[in-house]
Amino acid sequence: MDEFSFIQSIQQSYYRQPTLLKGVGDDAAIIRPSGDDIVIAKDMLVEHVHFIKSTMKPYHIGYKALAANLSDIAAMGAIPAYYLVAISISNDWSNEELAEIYNGMKSLADRYKVDLIGGDTVSGTELVISITVIGYANRNISRLRSAAKEGDVVFVTGTLGDSQAGLHILQNAGTYKEEEYFKRRHQLPSPRVEFSLGLQQIDRVALNDISDGIASEAHELAESSKVGMVLIEDKIPVHPAYAQFDSNLQYNWKLFGGEDFELLGTVSRSDWELVKQRAQQLSLRLTEIGYVTDEKDAGKVFLQQENGKIIQLEKKGYNHLSR
């Protein structure tokens, strides 16, 4: 298939976003913004680094690539609207597999009515996908990492460590409880878009999505907001079947594992009830896991262990650039 035929094959037959003037098919896409702020996130996924064929089907690769970007948009309190996809593919990927990658993205895009408006397709020696997602955010809604304040409740959606548990199951044959659940959490993660949009009534919420593990993301909040943060270990939410794994793995996955794409946030105690209500309306698990301390601990994150001892957490996690 040549580039032209391929672009035609992935082109949407109609667009859903009312602010789009021109999608695929010119030198650039054109949008006429509605008056809201625009948020833009971009990332890149590389075969063998971020995914391997043995644990991720092409459909999963596309789905998860877009999910990771939608998760960034959710972490800004924004509603996703558009995406662009640049992809470099090697010859050991068939046209069918390539189409399945786009199908994986499409299924998630359909759910959120997000339109594919551009990109590029080239060939290389390994599969590389870069997605750009564009969303709209109401003005004056601050979901910045720098918005945390002393005394805030620290909360997290869902359960942590699931994605790494799923990867472990995919790579280690055996009998596991809730095997399908964990695999699904690794292969088809859910960006918390609805939850984030549900918080629009609240003026100030600091949000960060958990792509690199909660320890790393909590540090980003603490550094940007110039506050300290205490996480309480036995409050960190895990799935009931999580206990089946080795306790060291459990510890590492939930704190440093990454790719759960849950939201970590902080909010004032007075707004906490409202945040809980929103999660309840969505039947989304939401857990208070700690609190924000003052600027004398700026940039530091502590873990209150089950024995009551408080240790300082390292800022480690997924680091895709190790040179």
Q: Is 82 helix (H, G, I), strand (E, B) or coil?
A: strand
Does 43 bind a copy of itself (CB under 8 A)? Our answer is: yes
Q: Choose which of 67, 130, 182, 227 interacts with a copy of itself (CB under 8 A).
A: 130
Give binding residues for ATP as ranges: 102, 119-120, 145, 211
Give the DSSP per-residue string, 230-294. Answer: EEEGGGS---GGGGGS-HHHHHHHHHH------EEEEE-GGGHHHHHHHHHHTT--EEEEEEEE-
Q: What gap in Å lies between CA 117 and CA 25, rounded to an integer?
A: 9
Known binding residues for substrate are 50, 259, 318
In angstroms, the CA 119 to CA 130 distance is 9
Q: Taking Cα atoms as reference points, which of 139, 95, 97, 131 lies closest to residue 114?
A: 131
Binding of a copy of itself at residue 128 (CB under 8 A)? yes
Map the footprint of a copy of itself across residues 48-67, applying CB under 8 A. Answer: 48-50
Of 6, 181, 251, 272, which one interacts with a copy of itself (CB under 8 A)? 6
Contacts with a copy of itself in 284-323 (CB under 8 A)? 319-323
Contact status: 164 vs a copy of itself (CB under 8 A): no
Nearer to a copy of itself, 130 or 250 (CB): 130
DSSP code per residue over 298-309:
TT-EEEE-TTS-
Indicate whether 28 belongs to the interface with a copy of itself (CB under 8 A). yes
The minimum distance between CB 51 and a copy of itself, in angstroms, equals: 12
Phi, psi angle pair for 247, to nearest 5°:
-65, -30
The reply to whether 209 sits near a copy of itself by the rule CB under 8 A is yes
* 278 Cβ contact partners less than 8 Å away, ≥ 6 residues apart: 195, 198, 199
How many residues in the shown chain lie near a copy of itself by CB under 8 A? 74
Looking at the Cβ atoms of 77 and 178, the one nearer to a copy of itself is 77
Contacts of residue 281, defined as CB under 8 A and 6 or more positions apart, other chains included, come to 198
- Binding site: what residues are annotated? 27, 43, 50, 72, 102, 119-120, 145, 209, 211-212, 259, 318
Q: What's the closest the beta carbon of residue 321 comes to a copy of itself, in angstroms?
A: 4
Least distance to a copy of itself from the beta carbon of 267, Å? 17
Q: How far is the CB of 195 from a copy of itself (least distance, A)?
A: 15
User: Between 3-10 and 95-112, two packed helices, what is the crossing angle to 10 degrees?
Assistant: 30
Indicate whether 95 belongs to the interface with a copy of itself (CB under 8 A): yes
Give the span between the Cα atoms of 145 and 148, in whole angstroms: 7
Residue among 82 and 182 whose Cβ is closer to a copy of itself:
82
